[in-house]
């Protein structure tokens, strides 16, 4: 088992009660308070402890005769290699991120061990079976990266609340509390009439500034002077609503600024996490704060970070489970939203967008865990003919809540299990090797320890065992544009990219391209070969509007408390509505081979991406898949 969260707890219990005698479970996470409403093996006293170890202890209390081996570790650690996976008869995934899922899929392929995937979101769920040589692998259908937004929209012309959240989380929070060496597109002009001719970094805290003075300076520059500078460009606002600069003196009287945080002694204790809300006397996370309250929270969160968590400054990244971070991002996003005439949101809603949260349902996890065990038993009995992918629906469709589907054959163009060459369109004169490694090799292809070769020449390698001079040489290559590498990469070049830990290798043909659409192609690179042509998709609940199920989150990539939910474009998957349309007179498994199945309109598909699942619509017409016999 990989994962001991929402699905994992139910799965371990069901495995034990079904007669499984030897189970190994890997999970790197520790138990949090928010897990307790559905991960029933855990109790309040377990908060902060290893999920894998506590889950083992809990199950052994009622099934002491079985062997459970827990690993409090990351499944991507070097110790969990192909040889490690070869010792198992089947691998069951209950993971919470796409990167780890792809990693396990590749290890299972290399080890030739069957993999059973699963996912839930709300009342929806699914289980899929992946067996090398018999079915498609987990990556035969392309998995998308999270939705991105043009930098110019985020920094200059936000029109939706999600734009403000991205600005507050990925730019402002990172600039104030993250690694100062990291590139950041947030630029705030010192437009306060300063006489200094030298450009001033207003984020640098002066030696004579206390926390309150620094907080006021940041507030006025970010929400006031910076907006005034933007307004000076009249061309930008000809067809847009002009934002309003917001200065602290116009929002909070001096008296309230001085009183801000005076409730800290009453509300903050060593037993509770730091909270700006508690410090200023606010308690309900579902209330929509006024501009004044958002301003108070912003200043208080800044003060608490620099006053009580100063040792962490410079190393912080946003975490949805960090209460103070969520409060800061919510308040900053709301103040910016107010400036641009965008509706304000509650902390509850803002956290859902910032953390990509779709709330989980324990019953769905239990159903999916049971289905996983059923498929695992079939695999262990070598009953491959009867293996099924099963979808759990929210509402009965043709009197069915569980929809079984025969597994699909491998995608012949899959670069993971079929080794089909890929095509990369890139401007080889402006894109650097670092761009290629970060955006394509790591982000798109999901490789952790890449090795890049052109012919027999090694261009780049990652590893702890590299000699210093070799590592330094590779580091120098990273910042060179592709055509200026020691072995130039230009149009027509073929690169070989390998990950030795995953035992995966793929070939990428390079095609030079001069220009890219910044809105549609923000990476300025387009990877082709195994993907269907992507179209915009939405996360919906059984075909209903997202606005009813997940307020204010339709524009964001969703995430349940278990895991991320990414909208997935998969034109070659058989669409669920095709099955539903046809099951009135036939069994679902008989319908999958209909020659006219792709002609049904308004189709939706269930496809999981993490410990969750999404329903998608508006797919391009693509070639049909064959059933396995």
51 assigned ligand-binding residue: yes
5 assigned ligand-binding residue: yes
Instruction: Report the distance separating Cα 337 and Cα 339, nearest Å.
Output: 5
610 assigned ligand-binding residue: no
Cβ–Cβ < 8 Å for 358, 122: yes
Q: What angle do CA 513, 519, 522 make, to 5 degrees?
A: 55
101 assigned ligand-binding residue: yes
96 assigned ligand-binding residue: yes
Q: How many CB atoms lie within 10 A of CB 516?
A: 16
Q: What is the 3-state secondary structure (H, E, C) of 17-39?
A: HCCCCEEEEECCCECCHHHCCCC
97 assigned ligand-binding residue: yes
9 assigned ligand-binding residue: no
98 assigned ligand-binding residue: yes
Based on the residue annotation, tell me whether 152 is a catalytic residue of this protein: yes
Q: How many CB atoms lie within 10 A of CB 564?
A: 23
392 assigned ligand-binding residue: no
Instruction: Report the distance separating Cα 93 and Cα 23, nearest Å.
Output: 13
Cβ–Cβ < 8 Å for 580, 594: no
170 assigned ligand-binding residue: no
Cβ within 8 Å of residue 25, ≥6 positions away:
1, 2, 4, 8, 12, 52, 55, 56, 68, 69, 70, 71
3 assigned ligand-binding residue: yes
Pairing status of strand 22-26 against strand 67-71:
parallel
99 assigned ligand-binding residue: yes
137 assigned ligand-binding residue: yes
CB burial readout 345-362, b (16+ within 10 A) else e? bbbbbbbbbbbbbbebbe
553 assigned ligand-binding residue: no
Closest CA to 422 of 514, 498, 531: 531
Catalytic residue among 9, 108, 152, 387: 152
542 assigned ligand-binding residue: no
417 assigned ligand-binding residue: yes
Closest CA to 19 of 66, 75, 79, 78: 66
Count how many residues are written for the chain: 629
Instruction: Report the distance separating Cα 297 and Cα 171, nearest Å.
Output: 18
506 assigned ligand-binding residue: no
Q: What is the 3-state secondary structure (H, E, C) of 159-222?
A: CCHHHHHHHHHHHHHHHHHCCCCCCCCCCCCCCCCCCCCCCCCCCCCCCCCCHHHHHHHHHHHH
6 assigned ligand-binding residue: yes
Task: Retrieve residue 356's tokens.
Answer: 């990509």
Annotated binding site for Zn(2+): 137, 140, 414, 417
Residues with catalytic function: 152
Annotated binding site: 3-8, 27, 35-38, 51, 96-101, 137, 140, 414, 417
């Amino acid at each position: 088992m990989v994962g001991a969260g929402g699905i994992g707890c139910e799965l371990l219990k069901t495995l034990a009660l079904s007669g499984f005698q030897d189970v190994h479970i890997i999970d790197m996470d520790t138990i949090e308070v928010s897990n307790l409403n559905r991960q029933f093996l855990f109790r309040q006293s377990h908060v902060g402890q290893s999920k894998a170890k506590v889950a083992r202890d809990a199950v052994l209390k009622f099934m002491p005769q079985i062997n459970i081996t827990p690993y409090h570790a990351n499944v991507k650690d070097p110790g969990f290699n192909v040889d490690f996976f070869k010792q198992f008869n089947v691998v069951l995934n209950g993971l919470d991120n796409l990167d780890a899922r792809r990693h396990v899929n590749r290890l299972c392929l290399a080890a030739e061990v069957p993999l059973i995937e699963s996912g839930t979101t709300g009342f929806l769920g699914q289980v899929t079976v992946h067996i090398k040589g018999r079915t498609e692998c987990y990556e035969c259908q392309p998995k998308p990266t999270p939705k991105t937004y043009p930098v110019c929209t985020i920094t200059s012309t936000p029109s939706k609340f999600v734009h403000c959240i991205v600005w507050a989380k990925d730019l402002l929070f990172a600039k104030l509390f993250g690694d100062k060496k990291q590139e950041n597109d947030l630029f705030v002009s010192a437009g306060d009439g300063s006489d200094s001719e030298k450009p001033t970094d207003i984020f640098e805290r002066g030696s004579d500034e206390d926390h309150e003075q620094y907080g006021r300076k940041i507030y006025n520059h970010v929400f006031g002077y910076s907006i005034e500078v933007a307004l000076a460009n009249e061309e930008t606002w000809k067809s847009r609503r002009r934002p309003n600069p917001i200065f602290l003196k116009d929002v909070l009287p001096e008296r309230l600024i001085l009183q801000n945080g005076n409730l800290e002694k009453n509300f903050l204790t060593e037993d509770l996490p730091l909270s700006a809300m508690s410090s200023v006397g606010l308690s309900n996370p579902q209330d929509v704060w006024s501009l004044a309250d958002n301003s108070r929270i912003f200043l208080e969160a800044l003060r608490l970070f620099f006053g009580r968590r100063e040792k962490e400054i410079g190393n912080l990244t946003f975490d949805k489970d960090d209460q103070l971070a969520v409060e800061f991002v919510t308040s900053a996003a709301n103040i910016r939203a107010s400036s641009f005439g965008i509706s304000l949101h509650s902390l509850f809603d803002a956290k859902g967008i910032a953390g990509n949260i779709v709330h989980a349902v324990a019953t769905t996890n239990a159903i999916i865990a049971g289905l996983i065990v059923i498929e695992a038993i079939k695999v262990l009995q070598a009953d491959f003919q009867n293996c099924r992918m099963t979808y759990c629906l929210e509402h009965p469709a043709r009197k069915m809540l569980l929809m079984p589907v025969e597994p699909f054959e491998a995608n012949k163009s899959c670069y993971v299990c079929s080794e089909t060459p890929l095509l990369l369109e890139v401007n080889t004169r402006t894109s650097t090797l670092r761009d290629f490694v970060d955006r394509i090799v790591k982000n798109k292809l999901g490789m952790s320890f890449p090795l890049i070769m052109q012919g027999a020449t090694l261009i780049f390698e990652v590893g702890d065992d590299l000699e210093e001079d070799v590592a330094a040489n590779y580091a120098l290559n990273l910042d060179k544009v592709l055509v200026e590498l020691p072995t130039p990469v230009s149009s027509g070049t073929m690169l070989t990219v390998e990950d030795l830990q995953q035992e995966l290798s793929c070939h990428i043909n390079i095609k030079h391209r001069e220009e890219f659409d910044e809105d549609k192609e923000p990476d300025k690179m387009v990877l082709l070969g195994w993907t269907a042509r992507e179209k915009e998709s939405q996360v919906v609940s059984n075909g209903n509007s997202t606005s009813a199920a997940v307020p204010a989150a339709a524009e964001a990539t969703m995430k349940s408390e278990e895991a991320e939910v990414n909208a997935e474009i998969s034109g070659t998957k058989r669409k669920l509505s095709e099955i539903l349309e046809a099951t009135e007179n036939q069994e679902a498994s008989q319908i999958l081979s209909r020659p006219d199945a792709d002609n049904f309109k308004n189709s939706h598909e269930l496809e999981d991406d993490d410990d969750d699942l999404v329903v998608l619509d508006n797919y391009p017409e693509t070639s049909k898949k064959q059933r396995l016999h």
